[in-house]
Amino acid sequence: MSTNKGEKILQLENTYAKLPAVFYSLQKPVPVSKPNLVLFNKSLAKDLGLEFLNQQRDLISNYLSGNEIPDGSKPLAQAYAGHQFGHFTMLGDGRAILLGEQIDPNGKRFDIQLKGSGQTPYSRRGDGRASLYSMLREYLISESMHHLGIPTTRSLAVVSTGEKVFREQVHNGAILTRIAASHIRVGTFEYVSNFCTKEDLQILTKYTIKRHYPELSDKENPALELLKVVMQKQIDLIVNWMRVGFIHGVMNTDNMSIASETIDYGPCALMNSYNLNTVFSSIDTYGRYAYGNQPNIAQWNLTAFANSLLPIIAENQNEAIELAKDVLKDFQHIFKEKWYKMMFDKLGIFRPTEKDEDLVNDLLSLMKTNKSDYTQVFLALQHNKKLDNPLFNKQEFNHWIQKWNSPHHAPDFELMKRSNPKIIPRNHWVEDALEAAVEGNMIPFNQLFSKLSEPYGNHPDEFVFEEIPKEFDVNYQTFCGT
């Protein structure tokens, strides 16, 4: 990890590049004209064992713009396919380059990927670039999700390119450095299963298990066990999303990580008023990926994953199908159980009974009817605070509170405190911060980021319970950023 002069350098490994060549295309990032470091995540850099970069601003800019290739790096664009809004298509990294893998001080392996780094063989008429706005947005939301305690890819840096990006209008260009346990997706397995050999599928499965779930290596049917563990972890992830009101917005199979991290922050947003049908994505016309439909889509995606694994689950296809179906049939039961457990935690119900499911359902029904803020209602209950919302003046809600706060329940407020964030990345906060940032004023962005880094900490009531701009969410749309 050092030069002849004793100075540390960025030196990466590349186990993915040792897989069959059909899995990727070797591709260097396209250099940019004027790289400038906008954001660098020093805390994450320390966790990764990269804190020696902290004082080398020019070096960071060069490495993380793609203008300089780190030692040991074998840059590549990964091939994958996927079901996008239910339709299968060939995809791949159209604007991202995997530089390589960093081993952190604890021996864990992480991908370092540049997003917005130029055209690749998979760009499909795209320019391979990204806007400063969209990369700052991913940095903000992904790091917020991390601090909320939700598995996610991380953001190490944003580097502006000094170049323009043309979408509906002209934007400043930027590159995000994304950190992930890996970038292996359901879509990776779909690609290999559809376009490569059975041997390639076995190689990918073996590699994935060794990298993420080594405890499965000696199982009698590793592919089937991989399906089981990914299903469990996806359920945990979706339950966690719903705990804070997160809507991914584009749950295509190519955006479902086998490591079960939240990945690809395109048209994502967090819900204010509680409504299962909430959609913010500009391209989700029919609400396929609405807040309340996310569990169903996760099961759909897992079915696609299972279908990709069939050739190596069993030699006989009918037997493989039955084995996979036997795993997937438990999805709804497991999800329901974990979802209610999450809601009981939000309400501080430590020892729930079956009747307490009605308590949860009744509250959510009242919240929907009265367009109540999902985050603030749980905090108001926790702090015995009355909000300026019709819900708090309804007799039905007062009756509900009496049931919830009865001696039978005696809410555990410490449990509520751990389960209910005080602040989330509110849509209007995010937009205000980003609009200022792209104009060169990073102060609002940094102030918001600081607050979002402590979502369960102490914050002034006037900030926590700030009124959401009326009708803001009605016309609010988020975009893929491609």
> CA-CA distance, 41 to 44, in Å (whole number)?
5
For residue 40 the two structure tokens come to 């660098």
Distance CA(479)–CA(281), nearest Å, equals 6
Question: Using alpha carbons only, how large is the chain's radius of gyration in Å?
Answer: 23
In order of 75, 82, 290, the CA distances from 131 in angstroms are 22, 24, 26
Q: Is residue 188 within 8 Å of residue 211, measured between CB atoms? A: no
429/156 Cα distance (integer angstroms): 22
DSSP string covering 176-212: EEEEES---BHHHHHHHHHHS-HHHHHHHHHHHHHHH
CB 74 within 8 A of CB 14: yes
- The single residue listed with the structure tokens 């939301």 is 141
Q: Are 134 and 178 in contact (CB under 8 A)?
A: no
Say if residues 274 and 292 touch (Cβ distance below 8 Å).
no
Closest Cα partner for 340 from 322, 319, 318, 363? 363
Taking the C-alpha atoms of residue 372 and residue 389, their distance in angstroms, rounded to an integer, is 7
Find residue 172's DSSP bridge partners: 164
Cα separation, 152 vs 264, whole angstroms:
9
Would you name the residues annotated as active-site residues? 254
Residues forming beta bridges with residue 156, ordered by sequence position: none
CA-based angle 473:478:482, to the nearest 5? 175
Distances (CA, A) of 401 to 69, 173, 396: 60, 51, 9
For residue 332, CA distances in Å to 161, 231, 295, 298, 304 come to 46, 11, 8, 10, 16
